[in-house]
Structure 1
């Protein structure tokens, strides 16, 4: 019964949702390539402030933070594949393992090892 209600709510939301912003893929691609905010804004035909507002609306944060989150996701994928943390840091674009550790704690609030173990500490 509860799953049915959830399914109906999701269906209702999907039917009434605004279409996705067509620029989002280009914004994510630019951020993923490491393009600066000014370069991304110019490439998608927006001003920097409008780019920031669109990013906030779509992702909940601006393009610089989006870049940090995407880089962290790349790092976590590597770490989950048992790549040593120092190699994870270098491959994902961090200055060193300490930088990776600081960024993980800043973005997630927990140390990298604990984040990888999950909430139950497995």
Structure 2
């Protein structure tokens, strides 16, 4: 069973996921990075460009999902180095520091809240996320074109691409595709017909939506949502 709540860290989400069957559901690209806890392990989920299916037997997870583009400043690692990867936090930070964090989580009554506290502590002295990149996410999430958004932000194409690699793990066009996918999924889950979902999310038509869902999520939209529409 999956549950989430808004974090006290601006834009972040605290979540838990406990096994509710034998099959693991795919984790879809969303523009975000997560700090994860499972079975005594601290990991970082890098930015995905395709669906990620957890390996091994079902297990309980806790995590904090950072607003797109903000995790690299907290972790001290460019996002593109973690693209499509799950990495032990001890591979990024000193093992002694990670050991203390692990002990802190194990002693806490709630692992997800402990992760949130760690992220809040880290944010108190980490570099402030670039507000320009937050505006980029907002514009692309509204379905605005990349070129027009770059002009509004007064960034050249190369500069924008370079900054996106460090913050999101990929270029602005990939970020726009992923945010559009998330818009479409939200609309489809609300019960909107797929053809109308495609138009409102910014796709040319329903076949375009279907191709993008297969490419980014690895399965048809109906199967992804657990229905037959």
Shorter-chain TM range is 0.7 to 0.9
Match of 1:27 among 122, 136, 155: 136
Residues 29-82 of structure 1: CA deviation (Å, up to 9, x unaligned)? 443342342x33332122211111112222222111121112112111110011
Structure 1 or 2: more strand by fraction: 2
The alignment yields a C-alpha RMSD, in angstroms, of 2.2
Alpha-carbon distance change, 7 to 42 in structure 1, aligned in 2, over 3 angstroms = closer
Task: Please give the TM-score of this superposition, normalised by the length of structure 1.
Answer: 0.78
Q: In the alignment, is residue 88 of structure 1 matched against residue 197 of structure 2?
A: yes
Alignment of 1:1-122 (within 5 A): 1=107, 3=111, 6-31=115-140, 32-37=142-147, 39-117=148-226
Does structure 1 conserve the Cα–Cα contact (< 8 Å) formed by 2:146 and 2:176? no
- Please give the alpha-carbon distance, in whole angstroms, between the structure 2 residues aligned to 1:14 and 1:64: 28
- Please give the alpha-carbon distance, in whole angstroms, between the structure 1 residues aligned to 2:190 and 2:121: 38
- Please give the alpha-carbon distance, in whole angstroms, between the structure 1 residues aligned to 2:116 and 2:204: 44
Gaps of 5+ in 2: 1-106
Does structure 1 conserve the Cα–Cα contact (< 8 Å) formed by 2:161 and 2:171? yes
- Please give the alpha-carbon distance, in whole angstroms, between the structure 1 residues aligned to 2:168 and 2:212: 19
